Structure 1
Amino acid sequence: MSSLSSLSDGETTTSRNIPDRKDLWNRYDDNEFRSRFRFNKPCILHLLSKIEHLIEPETRRSKAIDARTQLLIVLRYYATGSFQAVLGDLVECNKSTMCRIIQRVTKAITSLADQQIKMPTSEEYQQVAQEFYEIAAFPRVLGAVDCTHVKINSPGGHLAETFRCRKGFFSINVQIVYDARLKIRNIIARWPGSVHDSTIFNNSPLCAMLENGAYGNFYLIGDSGYFCKRYLLTPFLSPSTTGEENYNKSHILTRNTVERCIGVWKRRFPCIQKGITLKKMDTILKVIVATAVLHNMAISFEEEEFFEVDLDQEELANHISHGPQDFSVRSALVNTVFN
């Protein structure tokens, strides 16, 4: 249960006047509301019903901020990436209160990750693979994997430089698996920006599951930044036959889903696109996961995309040229499907 001190500005001083909180819920018409908070009201009420018990203040003394307003404040932060002091002007509260609200609500939303972000079950394999197949006739795909960088401020300390990516800024390198509906099926948000995509994948629980045959003869597809395996298929760097060219065309069109998904995710929540300016690393990582949870909820609730989507092109040159690879499944597909 939320403590009073984290949700109000005036519990220690009774003489100070505390301004009335602005009514964010009724302040805007439906279109303005969605553009500011990224969801319509029924969806927000559904989300609130799942986390309200985690963020509602124990009392309303000192005009403590109610759970619904806290959620709107945090959604506004995700939708803008604004500084906490600027967001505080929304409801007449100070920066320190804003920081505590962002931490508390983000943690609550992240607690829904196991429900909202999960790989397909065996009952879903065929349906998910069929949706991918309808894009460009690439068979048995369960997901498209890619990494994207989320910019952060320098975390300081002797390990700070490990967070500097090859483009020169500090970041978290986030691995994501999407399906054809643009839903996030798996996310890993903990690696510094200097770590290579293939290293993140090879050290992930998902890789271990695939290695152990957890998904049968289904597989992921990824760009040439990954090692080709029987469970992770990459494109040919230099196709030399018609079959290899056909394979590449289908692979690229199918994998374009992940590029579009990253674009949708970042445009829906610009705090991910512009960079997270929070100081606590734990909260930064939770914001990344929380926005992934909300992205999936938006897909489930069929929230309309009301923003332009730029394809995420930052990883296209992230190639590898050596290492243990397994081309058996890729070769079989070229010979049996794409020739």
Structure 2
Amino acid sequence: MAAGHRAIVRDHMYLRQVPRPRVFRDRSNPLEDLREEEIFARYRFRPDTIYFIVDLCQAAARDTGRCFAIPLVLCVLSYLRFLATGSFQLTVGDTVNLSQPTVSRVCRQVGQVLSALADRYICFPSGDRVRQVKQQFGAMAGFPNVVGAVCDASYRITSAVVMWPGRTHEARIWRQCALRRRFEDGDVQGFLLADSGYACTRYMLTPYMNPVGEAQARYNGALCRTRVTVEQTFGILKQRFQVLRRKLNCSPERACMHIRNCITLHNLGIDRRDIVAVDPIDPIDNSHYHGVDVGDNMDGRAEREYVTRMYFER
């Protein structure tokens, strides 16, 4: 009995020493085998946008001296599939016929290449674009949010701070934001709209906590209806990239990279009119009353009163 057991163990050890034959998988391009709607459902972009992303990554890879051992289109598809689903790498690999270790490697490589493009696609408006954004919002432009982001009327994210733990208060994120310093220094003209989690300042308008009179009520209603755009923006972002709805099982640095890349790709999709539709949000149910004193200053309250008198008194 013991001799038979030893023979089995010896045979298993021998089998482990024998090199496994290489398996060459079919790595055909899924973009050539699926219809456009099927491609969008799996990768959250249309084929022409995906090829555009591939070309961007190819150019960025050349600039950084990177090389990819497998076709770049498969690398990009693997990363887009990961962002679109948040699935395990083994599941992502089954979609494009790649092994889990390969998916891990290419997601890191493509993620790093896309990260280098962030400043090209996430940038606060300047020049004539500032005037256009103000016209779209009336006299106001942009929205800080709990995740440290600002958007415009086209749902484009124009500023994003992706570096703080999830429990950090949004007011603290804003205090450390480089965009805030630009407003403080007078480099940017106009208003940001925010909820009551932020302090009312001369450049950031927030709701009245306890509105008195019809003018203040109308101001609150207009601010809420306009500011809801940022909630819709994040709805679009999470609808396209389901990875943002799940826990990212990676280092904080890599998690920040993935989130920033989602924002980059979101803006790229808007530029190319390759968008995801979401249900509208009722602004009445989205007033975001925090009930916390975040330190409104006198200049901010005076500016808010001026706007209320100029635009909301009848």
TM-score scaled to structure 1, two decimals? 0.79
Confirm or deny: 8 A CA contact 1:224 1:235 kept in the other structure.
Answer: yes
CA deviations on 1:212-247 (whole Å, 9 max, x unpaired) are 11112x010000000010111100011011111111
Structure showing greater radius of gyration is: 2
The answer as to 2:182 corresponding to 1:209 is yes
The answer as to 2:83 corresponding to 1:78 is yes
The amino acid that maps onto 2:113 is A
SS at match of 2:150: strand
Once residues 181 and 53 of structure 1 are traced to their aligned partners in structure 2, the CA distance between those partners, rounded to angstroms, is 28
The answer as to 2:28 corresponding to 1:25 is no
Q: 2:171 corresponds to which residue?
A: 198
The amino acid that maps onto 1:39 is F
CA deviations on 1:265-288 (whole Å, 9 max, x unpaired) are 1111111123323x2222110110
Once residues 73 and 322 of structure 1 are traced to their aligned partners in structure 2, the CA distance between those partners, rounded to angstroms, is 43
- The alpha carbon displacement at 1:324 in A equals 4.9
Confirm or deny: 8 A CA contact 1:74 1:106 kept in the other structure.
Answer: yes
- The alpha carbon displacement at 1:208 in A equals 0.7
Among 40, 54, 58, which residue is 2:46 paired with?
Answer: 40
SS at match of 1:185: strand
Once residues 42 and 70 of structure 1 are traced to their aligned partners in structure 2, the CA distance between those partners, rounded to angstroms, is 16
Runs (4 or more) in structure 1 with deviation over 3 Å come to 53-59, 306-315
Consecutive unaligned residues in structure 2, runs of 5 or more = 1-18
The amino acid that maps onto 1:232 is M
The size of the alignment, in residue pairs, is 289
**Larger helix proportion, structure 1 or 2?**
2
Q: 1:243 corresponds to which residue?
A: 215
- The alpha carbon displacement at 1:199 in A equals 0.2
The amino acid that maps onto 1:183 is R
Among 286, 289, 296, which residue is 2:257 paired with?
Answer: 286
Q: 1:111 corresponds to which residue?
A: 116
The amino acid that maps onto 1:300 is D
Structure 1 residues 55 and 82, CA gap change in structure 2 (3 angstroms): farther
Q: 2:272 corresponds to which residue?
A: 301
The amino acid that maps onto 1:17 is V
Structure 1 residues 315 and 50, CA gap change in structure 2 (3 angstroms): farther
Confirm or deny: 8 A CA contact 2:171 2:294 kept in the other structure.
Answer: no
Over the matched positions of the two proteins, sequence identity in percent amounts to 27
**Larger strand proportion, structure 1 or 2?**
1
The amino acid that maps onto 1:110 is S
Once residues 283 and 311 of structure 1 are traced to their aligned partners in structure 2, the CA distance between those partners, rounded to angstroms, is 34
- The alpha carbon displacement at 1:27 in A equals 2.2
The amino acid that maps onto 1:332 is Y
Once residues 295 and 58 of structure 1 are traced to their aligned partners in structure 2, the CA distance between those partners, rounded to angstroms, is 25
Once residues 263 and 104 of structure 1 are traced to their aligned partners in structure 2, the CA distance between those partners, rounded to angstroms, is 27
Q: 1:145 corresponds to which residue?
A: 144
